[in-house]
Amino acid sequence: MERDDILPVLYDMAVTIGSEVSLKPLLTRTLQRLLYYTSFPAGFVCLDADCGGKQGDEIDEIEVMLDAAVGDYELIGRVGQKMTLSRELLCGAATRESEAVGLLEPFSSARVRYHSYLRLPIDGQGVIVLFAPRVPQSELPLTNMFQPVLSHLARAILLCRSYDAYTGGLISARQQAEATAHHLAFYDTLTGLPNRQLLQNALQAELSASEHGGQYGGLLFLDLDQFKTINDVKGHDTGDQLLLEVARRLRAAVHEDEIVARVGGDEFVIMLKGLGIAEDKAVSQAILAAETIRDNLGQPCRLGDGLHYTTSSIGIVLFKGTGKSMDDLLRYADSAMYQAKAGGRNTIRFYDPQMQAVIEARAAMEDELRSALEKRQLRPYYQIQVDSLRRPLGAEVLLRWEHPERGLVSPAQFIPLAEETGMIVPIGQWVLEESCAQLKKWQSSPLTRDLTLAVNVSAKQFRQTDFVMQVQHALLVSGAKPAHLKLELTESMVLENIDDTIAKMRELRLLGLSFSMDDFGTGYSSLQYLKRLPLNQIKIDQSFVREITNNPNDAVIVQTIIAMSESLGLDVIAEGVETEAQRQFLDEHGCHSFQGYLFGRPVPLAQFEAVLPGLSGMPAQSNAQP
């Protein structure tokens, strides 16, 4: 940021502060803007920090509440909690320090160690502390330039606190009475879940919504197995305890806008929404929801003095539009549930026989996929990436499943299944470790020592709390050079939780690896967010490349992406290049890295290495592996 930018920055900060009326969003948005303009990766706010005189000569720490935090997901998890922090860190005038490891030790972890901080007092209201592994370079007087904004923030804090107190006190006796009457009419008195009446109202609304939007919905009819035995043997109090625990687990297993209703003694109905416009996807989503619920209920729970294990039988019916009545749908789901009980209990059945066949086929593939890693059926394939002269730059690692009976299983079949079941996490870690090991092997050969490997990272894998440690471990164990590893993240994934994403990406960038944004242009990315992401490369999606030479709209989109990448200082690579005309168009408009069938299909390692000498102009024997 240049000095000429200071006034616009202060104006933007003032507008940000003035636009909030409640305390929590005020503090969070202020922090986000401060991090953006100072390039610090993380920070927090403590209000009402007692920075008065010490009560004893040896007391140099104070207990504070974290009122807001941004940038570090572990720190965000401590919001609302009390911490004991150094008085030297929190108290005093605005300052920027570059060597303060001891003061920042409470915020360091195995993944990142903070060394530098910027302290900004808030005019008697508290303090903002920003911190980083190393102090961001800036010639601007950061400790002085934000003081007018912080004075404005102090006044805004007082106003927001007053507003929150006012709105928090609005519950009249009449409103309480109305709420009580509504709850008695539409909610189960034991579990607090919606009852049959509220379920029918919600289902009627969802039938109309699905007809208008073309989206499938679903009903899961669930009955506890052997519940009568529990009531008879252990008593109704124990049975009620179990119903309460089941209600809690069901509520935790679905989205907030989905209905979980108790419609009978031990019968529950879950209404699923937004399952997609395609039937096969809707079936898959409904199965996943049912399996998740069945697995959650199958975990032991404590009833009285002992542990109890319960199972459930679940019937499923899908709906789209108002073609079937509510009563019909509930009857169909109930019928499917009884089929599940007749099938041996603790099972899932669809009302539609064809959909039931899909369940069974999916369950069989899931069982086989769970053992595919152990049986070494998964294989990394390599698709070459080249420059304008067709010289190899590296490859993207793509996973294939070589099934002994099914043959080569398409990734379109097993990758979504792995995502839905969570198996993508161990599979993704294995691919990462294999890729790092391969990079290490390549380092000893002049032919391959400069190649990079691009590894796709799934959303579930990236969201693991220890993902940074996993990457670091793979690099350390293998001995691979981090600069040769490139992680590919999808556009939708990086924007899902922007602050957590940026924090993790910055930690990984410190290790030396790089990032490429995959499928760029297919989502709804904001240029403002894109500027904040520590990316190295943009990958143009093949859907735009495919028609680039005969569709003016795609041609304009691609040229715009290339120009934008250049302005942001990012490399750009195009995937799905299949013709010389596509390659030439891209090359002429500033994209000089390519991937696609024109240069090579994804192939096993041996085939990939076999073509390298011809592309590199080096003799084949130079690629001998140690």
Instruction: Report the candidate in 104, 110, 122 with the shortest Cα–Cα distance to residue 43.
Output: 104
- pLDDT in the model for residue 616: 66
C-alpha–C-alpha distance, residues 450 and 130, integer Å: 38
Q: Are 34 and 78 in contact (CB under 8 A)?
A: no
- pLDDT in the model for residue 226: 84
Across the beta sheet with 348-350, what order do the strands follow?
259-262, 267-272, 217-224, 312-319, 348-350
Query: Which tokens go with 290?
Result: 């049912």
Give 617's contacts (C-beta < 8 A, 6+ positions apart).
none
- pLDDT in the model for residue 610: 93
Whether residue 55 has pLDDT greater than 50: no
Whether residue 50 has pLDDT greater than 60: yes
Q: Note the pLDDT tens digit of each residue in 262-271.
A: 998 899 999 9
- pLDDT in the model for residue 110: 60
Instruction: Report the candidate in 506, 523, 524 with the shortest Cα–Cα distance to residue 515.
Output: 506
* DSSP 8-class letter at 317: E
pLDDT band at 443 (very low <50, low <70, confident <90, very high): very high
- pLDDT in the model for residue 624: 35
Across the chain, mean pLDDT equals: 86
Domains in the chain: ranges and CATH: 3-168 (3.30.450.40), 188-366 (3.30.70.270), 373-621 (3.20.20.450)
The top-scoring range by mean pLDDT among 118-132, 307-321, 338-352, 592-606 is 592-606
Across the beta sheet with 42-47, what order do the strands follow?
68-70, 42-47, 126-132, 116-121, 95-97
Question: Burial of 615 by CB count in 10 Å (0-12 exposed, 13-18 middle, 19+ buried)?
Answer: middle
- pLDDT in the model for residue 44: 93
Q: Which of 53-67, 274-288, 549-563 has the lowest mean pLDDT?
A: 53-67
Whether residue 57 has pLDDT greater than 90: no
What pTM was estimated for this model as a whole?
Answer: 0.52
- pLDDT in the model for residue 511: 92
Whether residue 221 has pLDDT greater than 90: yes
- pLDDT in the model for residue 168: 65
User: Residue 298's CB: how many other CB atoms inside 10 A?
Assistant: 13
Q: Which of 202-216, 276-290, 432-446, 489-503 has the lowest mean pLDDT?
A: 489-503
Q: Note the pLDDT tens digit of each residue in 563-612.
A: 888 888 899 999 999 999 999 999 999 999 999 999 999 999 999 999 99
Q: Which residue shows structure tokens 């993790």?
A: 504
Question: Burial of 336 by CB count in 10 Å (0-12 exposed, 13-18 middle, 19+ buried)?
Answer: buried
pLDDT, average across residues 453-482: 93
Q: Which of 1-10, 97-106, 426-435, 519-528 has the lowest mean pLDDT?
A: 519-528
C-alpha–C-alpha distance, residues 225 and 246, integer Å: 12
| Gyration radius of the chain's alpha carbons | 29
* Percent helix, strand and coil across the chain, each to the nearest 5: 50, 20, 30
pLDDT band at 525 (very low <50, low <70, confident <90, very high): low
Q: Which residue shows structure tokens 């108002």?
A: 322
